[in-house]
């Protein structure tokens, strides 16, 4: 019997297993990760907001990235914490679609943020004299606005298409709600969803990656044609951004390639793999980037002493 997804009252998450007393250990680990992400990102946002000397495009883009980390982690971690301790792993359909919307818009905003930051570094390194002319206050605000509004609009359409599907089942073989998993439950034609999925992938992932690649090709050309001092400054500025990009990309593709879990090992991979750790690593790496910046180092001279401790988290 075909069921409209709006008529489905709940979804069952079958990836959770009965881990007995170990559930409290898993809960503690995930809770620590979530607290670390929240505290580190809130601290960095506050540092940027309260210091007017940091109200520059580079730091404003970083602030947008930190806020997105808070948004994405809040869409995932409280949900996981609740179900790790729960005996019943069902989720109401509206909450499931809300989580799909939050997680996918987080991923899209993350890539766009990284793309905008690479463009900013391209202007700063390749066109330093025209930087202030090109990267004005209005342009900075517009780029941040597009970074947030475009993924939200794309994911709103995607979620609406999935919500209108006729479903044959309501069992999702993951520890959280995922759009592709919901589409697979459909017993009707999903051609529109599949085509839109390809479109949103190209727009949200391939297009930002193309801009990032273009920016770094230009930056590398300047580095190889410039002095050793220029190369050192470019590497110091861009390497944390590249590490964050590669880290998030590995996490995203690792999640895409994961198969349905059938054992305790797979359960642990789902809960403690890249989908959780990538946000923590990205926060630490971006924290190192911010602390190493000259203005932050001047205002907080003892901050650099904490870099080895922050690196241990990685």
| Residue spans per domain, the chain | 3-236
Q: What is the DSSP string of 69-85?
A: HHHHHHHHHHHHHHHHH
Strand partners, 12: 90, 171
In this prediction, residue 70 carries a pLDDT of 92
Task: Return the closest-CA partner of residue 13 out of 103, 92, 71.
Answer: 92
In this prediction, residue 216 carries a pLDDT of 84
In this prediction, residue 294 carries a pLDDT of 46
CATH class of domain segment(s) 3-236: mainly alpha
In this prediction, residue 259 carries a pLDDT of 42
In this prediction, residue 230 carries a pLDDT of 66
**Angle 191-201/137-163 helices, nearest 10 degrees?**
160
In this prediction, residue 256 carries a pLDDT of 56
**Angle 137-163/57-85 helices, nearest 10 degrees?**
30
> Own/partner pairs for 273-278, CB < 8 Å, 24+ apart?
274/250, 275/76, 275/251, 276/30, 276/33, 276/76, 276/77, 276/80, 277/33, 277/251, 278/247, 278/248, 278/250, 278/251, 278/252
Q: Which two tokens stand for residue 238?
A: 């861009």
- The Cα–Cα gap between 183 and 165 comes to 8
Q: Along the chain (314 residues), what's the average pLDDT of each consecutive run of 10 residues?
A: 60 81 88 89 90 87 90 91 86 92 91 90 86 91 95 94 88 87 87 89 85 85 73 67 68 56 43 48 52 46 40 37
Q: What is the pTM of this model?
A: 0.79
Task: Return the closest-CA partner of residue 179 out of 110, 102, 112, 274.
Answer: 102
In this prediction, residue 56 carries a pLDDT of 87
In this prediction, residue 140 carries a pLDDT of 94
Dihedrals φ, ψ of 11, to 5°?
-120, 150
In this prediction, residue 309 carries a pLDDT of 36
Q: Are strands 10-13 and 3-4 parallel, antiparallel or unpaired?
A: unpaired
Strand partners, 90: 12
């Amino acid at each position: 019997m075909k069921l409209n997804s709006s008529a489905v009252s709940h979804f069952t998450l079958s990836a959770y297993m009965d881990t007995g007393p170990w559930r409290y250990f898993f809960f503690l680990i995930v809770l620590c990760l979530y607290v670390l992400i929240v505290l580190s990102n809130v601290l960095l946002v506050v540092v940027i907001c309260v210091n007017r000397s940091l109200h520059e495009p580079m730091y404003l883009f970083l602030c947008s990235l930190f806020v997105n980390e808070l948004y994405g982690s809040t869409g995932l971690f409280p949900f996981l914490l609740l179900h790790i301790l729960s005996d019943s792993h069902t989720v109401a359909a509206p909450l499931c679609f809300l989580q799909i919307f939050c997680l996918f818009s987080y991923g899209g905003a993350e890539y766009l943020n990284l793309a905008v930051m690479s463009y900013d570094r391209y202007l700063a390194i390749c066109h330093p004299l025209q930087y202030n002319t090109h990267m004005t206050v209005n342009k900075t605000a517009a780029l941040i606005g597009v970074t947030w509004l475009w993924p939200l609009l794309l994911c709103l359409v995607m979620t609406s298409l999935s919500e209108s599907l006729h479903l044959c089942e309501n069992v999702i073989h993951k520890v959280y709600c995922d759009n592709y998993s919901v589409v697979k439950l459909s017993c009707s034609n999903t051609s529109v969803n599949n085509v839109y999925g390809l479109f949103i992938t190209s727009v949200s992932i391939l297009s930002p990656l193309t801009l990032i690649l273009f920016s770094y090709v230009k930056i590398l050309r300047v580095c190889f044609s410039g002095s050793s001092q220029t190369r050192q400054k470019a590497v110091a500025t861009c390497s944390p951004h590249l590490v964050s990009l590669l880290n998030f990309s590995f996490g995203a593709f690792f999640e895409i390639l994961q198969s349905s879990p059938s054992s305790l090992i797979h359960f642990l991979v789902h809960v403690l793999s890249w989908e959780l750790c990538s946000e923590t690593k990205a926060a630490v790496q971006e924290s190192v980037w911010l602390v190493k910046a000259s203005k932050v180092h001047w205002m907080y001279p003892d901050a650099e002493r904490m870099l080895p401790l922050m690196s241990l988290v990685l």
